[in-house]
Amino acid sequence: MAEVTLDLRDLPKAAAYAALDTQVDSVLAGINDPIAGMATISALVHHAFGHLWTGFYRVVEPGHLLRVGPYQGTLGCLEIRFGSGVCGSAAARRETVIVPDVASFPGHITCDARSRSEIVVPVFDRERELIAVFDIDSDRTNTFDADDQRGLERLLGWFARGH
Ligand code: SME
């Protein structure tokens, strides 16, 4: 396989996400398997930006329970209820949640004590069913903004496209 894991930290975010879009489509060409998609996207996004933790929590009981899926980083908590923490809030609301400083988010679930800011993006399939959330943690405050939201929501559109 000619593809490599790119470090995109020198690029403006919009350009970095555009490069990731192209790479994800190329690496996953012909693959129609959400777990393979989650593993590949976690690895590429994690190393592109040097994040602290990058990965998926899958919906295992719709409306109730998330369970950890493919990720990169230190040990993640196993299960999160809808409505709990940042991941559970994004799942319950079916929308992206950006937390500039986890100390100011009531109910934040600490998996790695170095985490300072976070973004969680919902993941939908073709039928607009929520299948997972994508969680990224940073060891700095104020890491994530509207560019990340836009870039990640577009990247995660992979799960709603036919392959
Ligand atoms: N901080 C998350 C929990 C998951 S981990 O950080 C890997 C939350 O509050 O939902």
The reply to whether ligand 1 has any atom less than 6 angstroms from the CB of 92 is no
Where is pLDDT greater, at 111 or 140? 140
The reply to whether ligand 1 has any atom less than 6 angstroms from the CB of 134 is no
Closest CA to ligand 1's atom 1: 109
Phi, psi at residue 102, to the nearest 5°? -65, -25
Contact call for residues 131 and 74 (beta carbons, < 8 A): no
The reply to whether ligand 1 has any atom less than 6 angstroms from the CB of 148 is no
Using one digit for the tens of pLDDT, what is the confidence trace for 43-94?
A: 999 999 999 999 999 999 999 999 999 999 999 999 999 999 999 999 999 9
Which two structure tokens, joined as six digits, stand for 86? 């940042």
User: What is the average per-residue pLDDT within 97-122?
Assistant: 93
Among 54, 74, 137, 144, residue to substitute to test ligand 1 (most atoms within 8 Å of Cβ): 137
Phi, psi at residue 117, to the nearest 5°? -145, 165
The reply to whether ligand 1 has any atom less than 6 angstroms from the CB of 109 is yes
The reply to whether ligand 1 has any atom less than 6 angstroms from the CB of 34 is no
Identify the three-state secondary structure at position 95.
Answer: coil
Whether 120 shows a pLDDT value over 90: the answer reads: yes
Buried b (16+ CB within 10 A) or exposed e, 111-121: beeebbbbbbb
Identify the three-state secondary structure at position 63.
Answer: coil
Q: Which atom of ligand 1 is nearest to the CA of 137?
A: 6
The reply to whether ligand 1 has any atom less than 6 angstroms from the CB of 91 is no
Residue 163: the pLDDT is 58
Distance CA 71, CA 159 (A): 16
Residue 107: the pLDDT is 87
Rounded to the nearest whole angstrom, what is the distance from the C-alpha of residue 87 to the centroid of ligand 1?
6
